[in-house]
Amino acid sequence: MMRQYELVERVAGYIENPNEALLNQAYVYAMQKHGEQKRASGDPYFSHPLEVAAILTDLHLDEETIAVALLHDTIEDTDATRREIDELFGEKIGHLVEGLTKLKRLDLVSAQAKQAENLRRLLLAISDDIRVLLVKLSDRLHNMRTLGAMRPDKCKRIATETMEIYAPLAGRIGMQDLRDELEELSFRYINPEAYEAVIGHLEELAEKNKSLTLEISQNLENKLAEAGIKARVSSRQKKPYSVFRKMESKGLNFEQLSDIYGFRIIVETVEDCYRALGFVHMEWAMVPGRFKDYVSVPKQNDYQSIHTTVVGPARQRVELQIRTEHMHGVAEYGIAAHTSYKDGEDPLLESSAYETLRKTIEQLAEGDNPEEFLEHTKLELFLDQVFCFTPKGRIIALPKGATPIDFAYAVHTDIGNSCIGCKLNGKIMPVITELQNGDEVDIIRSEKQSPPAAWESVVATGKARSSIRRASRQAVRKQYSTLGVRILERAFDRAGKTYNSELLELALPRLARESLEDVLTEVGRNEMRAENVIMAIYPDYQAAEGDKGDLSEAKSKDDVIPNRIPIRGINSDLPVQFSKDGGAVPGDNIVGILVPGEGITIYPSESKTLARFKDDGAHLIDVRWDVDENNQERFPARIRVLVDNKPGILALVAEVIAQNDGNIQNLSMKVLVDEFMEMEIDIDVWGLSHLTQIIKQLSVKSITTKVDRITE
């Protein structure tokens, strides 16, 4: 176990005149508080915070962060208090320790909401000070290194959590070495058989290619020196989990992988990066499609490097990364490469990785419930990216697999909500097209648009998914609110009163509701009776027996009621759907049935289905068609056709419907006897006259015995 003076010496190795008093005080305090506590391995518990502090010294973190590492478990696991730590070490250190303490043990298998809420607390603490994350990642790394002392089921649970949350977080702030180690340690427990197989192959390959990798490194270094470019070349082997992930995602076996080994060319200046690239491409043939320039367009986690693949010595495909020493430091240590906290300056202001992470956390914090938050967090943390451009040249970074819908929401929520189409590189394309690096995306908008709920299943970013859910809920709520107004207007009229929203606002306390929209929505959903609203405004009002709605009230065509609710179709401002047992079309005498939470379902008044709603708590709504001649919406109907059972009969029936501008949505057939077949066809039509025309045209065909409409 590291001694007190050894810790101070480690910090003094990279900080001139470190705050020894702070380090000594934190060391002694934590050691005394943890006292005789033991870890699952049997080691003294204090060895854990000490090792976490050691990891952070390797990253050259400041004295405050090292002190927080020593103290990070004291509030959670000892009798230490936040007040005591504030008094001894200052409020800043107390705040950081508390930020870590609030994160309880997480569980991906159960208590998902609790897990998400605790993760939210951690991320919010991170947005305030990135050092919370650096300590937490170091804490998790040491726990993973010593995980073998736990039960197998607990090992797998913690490893899964690490793989899904903490390794991506490390990647998000550019700490690739730490991410690689977390993934490798997690892989070992999540899929031990695959881990052992991959490790075995890599060790075998390393022995086999030892001389070849050395030869390529020396060859590259010598040739660059001849060209006047001072460079340091090193080889690297792909990490076990990266190998496994590529094999799994691309369906390859180990022998088919061509990039197990890569080479890094470390040069002095940015100019040297491009000189080295030019020399390499002149010396060896470049592999098409394998070039990426992250120097001119850095990743969101500050990573910079030029990637290329060439056909090198011995006709081997050689993957190269070209970068400066500074870029290499950022690539290995990420945000920690910026962190020194000296002289009151905050080098994190230089880090776009931290700024991007903070913005991501702000978006995630808008999640409507803990489960959605957890889902969106996992979506946002992975960094396989594509870089696209707005028409004005702004770069938008998105995860691989993102669509123009994701792009629109990344620019602004309002642009996503109003998106109706897109142009990719000047051509109109579907909004579900997968974006590629370098695409220029021009979003086509309409202020009348509301995002379809189906978009949620095709987007790749948490922000888009969350925004679509929220917009869909708001659109549905608005529909029910509009319906609530219509129902109340009609109910007030029948009661001899005038509906007035201002009076209703004053009556909200009597209804125990916070807003006018809450009342209107509940009335629209049939969760609050209109009569109760009237009585809240007019306490002396007594509802007449006939005011409660009765299915027996279905009116005839000639029974005109001025306050009937107008129905235009499913794309209106009301929550409307049509009967699944035959539909309804303009020209039909119709009845609306309002079922709580389901909106209005429209039936022809002669539908036999209406009888079953009498005792189901459904509510009759007086409705009428409000469709003009220029209507561009079709409506559903169902017909039954009895035809001769002959070859090609389906094609003949479909041809008649198509010739008469009908649109077949669904069809079922059954043979009644050898000579006859019965078809049930769901078709979309413009109205009753259009439907009648199709029935008439089918009826006159010699193959047809009978055609009628189904209104069950």
| CATH classification at residue 462 | 3.10.20.30
Strands 635-644 and 676-685: antiparallel
Active site residue 77: yes
Tell whether 245 is covered by a domain: yes
Q: 57 is written with which tokens?
A: 């010294």
Q: What is the CA radius of gyration of the chain?
A: 34
Question: Are 161 and 188 contained in the same domain?
Answer: yes
Considering the domain architecture, whether residues 453 and 513 belong to the same structural domain is answered as: no
User: Please, what is the average pLDDT of the chain?
Assistant: 82
Least confident stretch, 160-169, 205-214, 646-655: 205-214
**pLDDT tier for residue 196 given thresholds of 50, 70 and 90:** very high
**Each residue's pLDDT tens digit, 209-259:** 778 788 888 888 888 998 899 999 988 888 888 888 888 877 777 766 766
Answer for the pair 480, 494: CB distance below 8 angstroms, yes or no: no
Q: Please report which confidence band the pLDDT of residue 26 belongs to, taking 50, 70 and 90 as the band edges.
A: very high
pLDDT for residue 549 is more than 80: no
Output 264 or 476, whichever has higher pLDDT. Answer: 264
More confident residue, 48 or 122: 48
What is the per-residue pLDDT for 339? 53
pLDDT value at residue 176? 85
In a domain, 579, yes or no: no
Residue 187 in this model has a pLDDT that exceeds 90: yes
- The string of pLDDT tens digits covering residues 97-118 is 988 875 444 444 335 555 565 6
Q: Given pLDDT bands bounded at 50, 70 and 90, which one contains residue 618?
A: low
Per-residue pLDDT reduced to its tens digit, 647-670 = 888 999 999 999 999 999 999 998
Residues 315 and 401 occupy one common structural domain: no
pLDDT digit string, tens, across residues 391-444: 887 878 788 889 999 999 989 999 999 999 999 999 999 999 999 877 899 999
Same domain, 679 and 643: yes
Which domain range does residue 262 map to?
198-337
Q: Are residues 185 and 64 in the same domain?
A: yes
Q: Taken in order 377, 379, 382, 383, is the CA torsion positive or negative?
A: negative
Examine the domain organization and report whether 393 and 512 are in the same domain. no
Q: Which of 40-44, 107-111, 474-478, 609-613 has the highest mean pLDDT?
A: 40-44
Q: Which one from 20, 43, 58, 77 is the annotated catalytic residue?
A: 77
Q: Looking at the DSSP assignment, which residues form a beta bridge with residue 389?
A: 395, 440
Domain shared by 501 and 643, yes or no = no
Q: Is the pLDDT of residue 552 over 50?
A: no
More confident residue, 678 or 349: 678
pLDDT at residue 349 greater than cutoff 50: no
For residue 701, the domain's CATH number is: 3.30.70.260
Give a yes or no: residue 620 inside a domain.
Answer: no
Query: Domain check: are 97 and 114 in the same one?
Result: yes
Question: Average pLDDT in the 499-515 region?
Answer: 85
**pLDDT above 80 for 60:** yes
Looking at 352-361, 476-485, 489-498, which range is the least confident one?
352-361
User: Distance between alpha carbon 250 and the CA centroid of its chain, in Å?
Assistant: 23
76 is catalytic: yes
Q: What single string gives the DSSP state of each residue in 507-567?
A: THHHHT-S-HHHHHHHHHTTSS-HHHHHHHH-TT----GGGG--GGGPPPTT---TTPEEE
541 pLDDT more than 90: no
Q: Which of 521, 548, 575 is the last residue of a domain?
A: 548
Q: Which of 134, 25, 133 is nearest to 84 (CA)?
A: 25
Q: What is the pLDDT of residues 257-275, one digit of tens each?
A: 766 778 999 999 999 999 9
Neighbouring CB atoms inside 10 A of 212's CB total 14
- At 398 the pLDDT is 83
Is 148 found in the same domain as 130?
A: yes
In the predicted structure, residue 555 carries a pLDDT above the cut 60:
no
Domain of residue 176, CATH code: 1.10.3210.10
Residue with more model confidence, 335 or 437? 437
Which of 337, 364, 387 is a domain's end point?
Answer: 337
pLDDT exceeds cutoff 70 at 354: no
User: Do 359 and 456 reside in the same domain of the chain?
Assistant: yes
What is the C-alpha separation between 78 and 31, in angstroms, rounded? 11
Report the distance separating Cα 665 and Cα 674, nearest Å.
27
Q: Is the confidence at residue 522, as pLDDT, over 70? A: yes
Shared domain check, 397 and 311: no
pLDDT of residue 122: 67
Among 20, 43, 76, 332, the active-site one is 76
- Distance from C-alpha of 156 to C-alpha of 152, rounded to nearest angstrom: 6
pLDDT digits (tens, 9 = 90+) for 624-639: 888 876 677 889 999 9
Give the residue ranges of DSSP H helices in 90-239. Answer: 91-101, 112-128, 131-145, 152-161, 167-172, 176-190, 192-208, 210-226
For residue 394, being part of any structural domain is answered with yes
pLDDT at 698: 92
Average pLDDT over residues 272-297: 90
DSSP result, 278-316: HHHHHHSEEPTT--EETTTS--TT----EEEEEE-GGG-
Task: State the residue for tokens 């050259």.
Answer: 60
Tell me the average pLDDT across 23-44: 92
Residue of 373 and 77 predicted with greater confidence: 77
550 pLDDT more than 90:
no
Distance from CA of residue 63 to its chain's centroid? 37
pTM of the predicted structure, to 2 decimals: 0.57
pLDDT of residue 342: 42
More confident residue, 482 or 354: 482
Geometric angle at alpha carbon 697, from 693 and 702, rounded to 5°: 160
414 and 508 in a common domain: no
Domain presence at residue 254: yes
pLDDT at 370 over 90: no
Q: Residues of 454-487 as b/e, b for ≥16 C-beta within 10 angstroms?
A: ebbebbbbbbbbbbbbbbbeebbbbbbbbbbebb
pLDDT at 336 over 80: no
For the chain, the domain total comes to 5
Task: Determine which of 44-53, 375-384, 675-684 has the lowest per-residue pLDDT on average.
Answer: 375-384
Query: What is the reported pLDDT for 545?
Result: 52
Rounded-to-integer distance, Cα 74 and Cα 93, Å: 12
User: Does the residue 58 lie in any domain?
Assistant: yes
- Whether the per-residue pLDDT at 55 is higher than 60: the answer is yes
Strands 427-429 and 395-399, by their bridges, are unpaired
141: pLDDT confidence band, cut at 50, 70 and 90? very high
> Which of these ranges, 26-35, 457-466, 590-599, 607-616, has the smallest mean pLDDT?
607-616
Which of 471, 502, 524 delimits the end of a domain? Answer: 471
pLDDT of residue 543: 60
Residue 73 lies in a domain: yes
